[in-house]
Amino acid sequence: MNETLHITVRGRVQGVGFRAFTVALANRLGLQGWVRNSPNEREVEIIVRGSGDALESFVERLRQGPPSSHVNGLESHAIDTNEHFTHFSVRH
């Protein structure tokens, strides 16, 4: 069963390739949704939909981030949304 998560990642996550890392990871895991920089320069926001196992792997990899990032915290919770996703992309 597919689930949708809202994720906020905090730390050195802007200007270090974190969004590109997130898109590539989501595509490898077959997930849909989007990632964007938060107005707070130390956060990115993610909405992601997929199966439980894929989402679990996604969140664990986000906690590590790409080599040039430093994740200080990650919050994730399930949400209900009517938004339709066909792929995973960067939002501006």
Rounded distance, CA 82 to CA 11, Å?
Answer: 30
10 has catalytic annotation: no
Structure tokens at 77: 């919770």
* Active-site annotation holder among 28, 36, 37, 40: 37
> Quick one: which of 69, 70, 43, 73 has its CA closest to 59?
73
Tell me the helix, strand and coil percentages in the chain, rounded to 5. Answer: 25, 40, 30
Decide: helix, strand or coil at residue 92. Answer: coil
* Active-site annotation holder among 19, 42, 49, 63: 19
61 has catalytic annotation: no
**Which residue numbers are catalytic?**
19, 37
